[in-house]
Structure 1
Amino acid sequence: MTTTTTAEPMGPSQASLYQQLRGHLAALKLTAAAEHLPAVLDQATAEGLSVTAALERLLALEVTDTEARRLAGRLRFASLPSPATIEGFDLDAAPGVDPALINELATCRYLETATNVLLIGPPGVGKTHLAVGLARKAAEAGYRTYFTTAADLAARCHKAAIEGRWAYTMRFFAGPTLLVIDELGYLPLPAEAASALFQVISQRYLKTSIILTTNRGVASWGEVLGDTTVAAAMLDRLLHRSVVLNLDGDSYRLRAHHAATDTLRRATTGTARPLQ
């Protein structure tokens, strides 16, 4: 007589546990962890990792992915006009700039004290490059950053006033920890534009930082803004807690032109001497 025995009910299979774990990660929106789970489990088996070590490795991948997404979002919001970096700035071509000061600004510690940075110099010496590089460092450090030109800021404020969105626009420009205002002085500003710029600077005063680039010395800001009283009040707020860099030297574009000419001369004449 044959006796049939019933097997003990089996617990969830390894495959089922794996699918449940993937489902949990997906439900928690830990997409990077879910994506890398198979590889981490394989590594845990191959390397004999403990459960704690395997979890740390898995969650570290999720943290890295999350930080990368957040940085990408901050950079999109920042609206930087170029991929310029502090590391790519040619300090040798800017003898008046202290490398130690640039390195200090790159730490972003000035943002903690709502210190402003004024970059003053003729066109082409790297003011915008430095401003973009510092803005990039701020975004990388986790600070909300926004880049605009003085003309675009003025135009946006003018449109907001017409459309009844003035308060909203002022809140927008007050929000970022770092606001970069590029190219003040390149185009004349009408009275209402100068007033808008002053109000943006005033509401950020001693609260958040501004980087401002200009080709005009502070003594001529009254001419730029069309009102010496507004210019004085604006400078009073900007300079109260600030770092001022005066840049000089040959234009970046002229240096690039000279370098290209030298390369062409060497290729065609075999000498670096100017053609006679």
Structure 2
Amino acid sequence: MLIHPMAERLRGLGLAAMADAFLDMRNQPAADDLSREDWLGLLIDREVTARDNKRFGRRLSVARLRQNAVIEDADLRTPRGLDRGLFQTLTTCGWIRDSHHVLIGGPTGVGKSWLACALGHKACRDGFSVFYRRAPRLFADLATARGEGRLARLMRSLERTRLLIIDDWGPEPLDAEQRRDLLEIVDDREGKGSLLITSQVPIGRWHEIIGDPTLGDAILDRVIHRSHRIELKGESLRKRQALAAVEGLTNAKEK
């Protein structure tokens, strides 16, 4: 068998990972004991894995998650109101399949954004399209798109995204255009996509942020009644990490 021409044919068919696996296996003595079916199965597995990793990389790039967070690193020991059972349920991404939402509240520094990014990362791993934006940046993007005549295109892009993460919602009140944009975004999610919203502002005050009773009812009715809620509490994790770092330096100097 002509080994290298065979590998080049595989590459020509767009099966680069299979070609690499073919060459690797030819150099392994243990591969001589494999049946033809096992050989083919291993080659196909390598190609499928490579393609899955590429798609995951593209989804992660488009998501633009603010933090490099993964669910496996979640701190479930520090008492901050994060229910272990609910968190494990959310990591299955069943809420995204059901077009439900997640609302994460709590004071600054308790890990709201980190948790949102970790769940967004898991959604990317499970094959869902994700897009992350801090609320001020999202509304700025919408205003710019409106001024440039491409608001409809941006809205269609957001509508096609299965999980839209809006981080740091509030406390600044929305203006009239922002209220209408938010209602359209929320309405587009109905039965087709999920929202993950983090905020320092208690849900009971979200009407104040929206600033219009009628639109507030329309927006919140679509979100709150189909949402899982996490209310984090406790001291700022950033402050705790800073104190730990200072203590570590002090101990190192004493030694």
Question: What TM-score bracket applies, with the shorter chain setting the length?
Answer: over 0.9
1:90 is the counterpart of 2:96: no
1:39, 1:266 → 2: CA distance? 50
Q: Which has the higher contact order (CA 8 A, sep 6+)?
A: 2
2:61 alignment partner in structure 1? 76
RMSD over aligned CA atoms reads 1.9
1:53 alignment partner in structure 2? 38
Once the two structures are superposed, the pairs formed by residues 142-157 of structure 1 within 5 Å of their partners are 142-157=127-142
Question: Pick from 153, 160, 165: which aligns with 1:180?
Answer: 165
Deviation at 1:36, TM superposition (A): 2.6
Deviation at 1:187, TM superposition (A): 4.1
1:200 alignment partner in structure 2? 185
2:102 alignment partner in structure 1? 117
Once the two structures are superposed, the pairs formed by residues 1-276 of structure 1 within 5 Å of their partners are 14-15=1-2, 18-43=3-28, 46-267=31-252
CA contact (8 A) 2:7 2:23 kept: no
27 and 202 in structure 1: CA distance in 2 versus 1, 3 angstrom threshold: same
Deviates more, 1:187-196 or 1:232-241: 187-196
CA contact (8 A) 2:165 2:196 kept: yes
The SS at the match of 2:164 is strand
Deviation at 1:53, TM superposition (A): 1.4
CA contact (8 A) 1:153 1:197 kept: no
Question: What percentage of aligned pairs have identical amino acids?
Answer: 35
2:237, 2:61 → 1: CA distance? 26
CA contact (8 A) 1:94 1:247 kept: no
What is the TM-score of this pair, normalised by structure 1?
0.86
Deviation at 1:125, TM superposition (A): 0.7
Report how many residues are paired.
Answer: 255
Instruction: Tell me the amino acid that sits aligned with residue 246 of structure 2.
Output: T
CA contact (8 A) 2:70 2:118 kept: yes
1:152, 1:145 → 2: CA distance? 16
What is the TM-score of this pair, normalised by structure 2?
0.92
CA contact (8 A) 1:185 1:224 kept: yes
1:107, 1:44 → 2: CA distance? 40
The SS at the match of 1:213 is strand
267 and 43 in structure 1: CA distance in 2 versus 1, 3 angstrom threshold: closer
218 and 45 in structure 1: CA distance in 2 versus 1, 3 angstrom threshold: closer
Deviates more, 1:68-77 or 1:153-162: 153-162
Deviation at 1:76, TM superposition (A): 0.4
1:242, 1:110 → 2: CA distance? 9
CA contact (8 A) 2:63 2:129 kept: yes
Q: Which ranges of structure 1 fall in alignment gaps of 5 or more residues?
A: 1-13, 271-276
Deviation at 1:149, TM superposition (A): 1.3
Deviation at 1:268, TM superposition (A): 5.2
